[in-house]
Amino acid sequence: MIRLLLYSDSSLQNVLAATLGPDYSIVVESNKSKVKQILTAEEVDVVIVDLDTSCSSLPEQLSFLAEIKPLSVPIVVMTDDDRRSTALQLVGHGVYDYFRKPPSLLELKFVVGRAHEHAKLKQELEKVKHKLREGNRCDQLIGSSGRAQVVYDLIRRVANLNAFVLITGESGTGKELVARAIHNLSQRSKLPFVPISCGAIPETLIETELFGHEKGAFTGATGARIGYMEQAAEGTLFLDESVSSASILR
């Protein structure tokens, strides 16, 4: 069943219901705020806007179309205006399609059905894109050779292990990129990723850099400092150049 929201007065509800038949569920609403609430809650598949282009409030109505466009529900407009300028304005304000009033049964079902199919395809495309993003977050790594694929496979295999990971390689081979890919694919992906260049930290400061300190803990400690371990929290701590390679602390 295709769920329709008709932004108009209630007099059209019975007409549309009788015209479209039982395969369509129709809700009529004339309050703009309630229309936005319904669309935000994703309770309908297509919104039909009854647009009176002869009235002085046309700019306000067009502005309303622009407001509901980002809510990701296809907008179909019924209008009594067949001017090309009006059609261009409707398209510019995010309308998927429009038809003249009163529409024929065939035209009405065709336009609404096409808008519904368009929305479904768009949703499926977004799902595929999301799966690709979630399933392969190695996009910052360059390479499609057999050896590169082996590295990508290892990244995916260790991503959800609750263990330390040692990444080895020459300087400039992308150890931090590998570490970020592991983090992005793990259950910690929404938590902090904290990279540390151990070679840039003097040996006498490594403890306070990692674990932080409180004010007055030693001479010169004029304030408290949060260490890298606490910054990473339950996320990922990347220790670069720690043992002539790199380590991830999980």
Residues 155 and 199 in one domain: yes
CATH for 125: 3.40.50.2300
Burial per residue of 109-138, b for 16 or more beta-carbon CB atoms within 10 angstroms, e otherwise: bebbeebbeebeeeeeeeeeeeeeeeeebb
Tally of domains within the chain: 2
Whether residue 38 is contained in a domain is answered as yes
Q: Is 135 helix (H, G, I), strand (E, B) or coil?
A: helix
What the block records as the tokens of 174 is 């992308």
Q: Which of 105, 134, 163 is the last residue of a domain?
A: 134
What the block records as the tokens of 23 is 């395969």
Residues 188 and 165 in one domain: yes
pLDDT value for 137: 53
Residue 115 CA to residue 118 CA, distance in Å, equals 5
Residue 145 has, within 13 A of its CA and on its CB side, a CA count of 4
Residues 24 and 114 in one domain: yes
Residue 124 CA to residue 127 CA, distance in Å, equals 5
Q: Which of 134, 164, 189 is the last residue of a domain?
A: 134
pLDDT value for 248: 60
Residue 126 CA to residue 164 CA, distance in Å, equals 34
- pLDDT interval class at 245 (50, 70, 90): low
Whether residue 229 is contained in a domain is answered as yes
pLDDT digits (tens, 9 = 90+) for 74-107: 888 888 777 777 777 787 777 888 887 777 778 8
Whether residue 141 is contained in a domain is answered as no
Fill in the DSSP letter of residue 3. Answer: E
Q: What is the DSSP string of 104-120?
A: PHHHHHHHHHHHHHHHH
Whether residue 139 is contained in a domain is answered as no
Pick the closest to residue 46 from 120, 99, 102 (CA basis): 120
CB 4 within 8 A of CB 44: yes
Give the domain range for residue 50. Answer: 2-134
Residues 45 and 119 in one domain: yes
CATH for 230: 3.40.50.300
pLDDT digits (tens, 9 = 90+) for 36-73: 888 888 888 998 888 776 656 677 777 888 888 888 88
Residues 56 and 100 in one domain: yes
* Percent of the chain clearing pLDDT 70 (strictly above): 84
Residues 166 and 47 in one domain: no
Whether residue 140 is contained in a domain is answered as no
Whether residue 129 is contained in a domain is answered as yes
CB 26 within 8 A of CB 13: yes
Residues 195 and 230 in one domain: yes
Residues 38 and 107 in one domain: yes
Average the pLDDT over 180-188 and give the result: 87
Residues 114 and 220 in one domain: no
Residues 124 and 151 in one domain: no
Residue 106 CA to residue 60 CA, distance in Å, equals 31
Q: Which of 113, 134, 155 is the last residue of a domain?
A: 134
pLDDT greater at residue 84 or residue 195? 195
Whether residue 74 is contained in a domain is answered as yes
CB 97 within 8 A of CB 76: yes
CB 61 within 8 A of CB 94: no
Parallel, antiparallel, or unpaired: how do β-strands 2-7 and 24-29 relate? parallel
Whether residue 34 is contained in a domain is answered as yes
| Verdict on whether the full-model pTM lies above 0.85 | no
pLDDT at 138 over 70: no
Residues 39 and 109 in one domain: yes
Residues 96 and 33 in one domain: yes
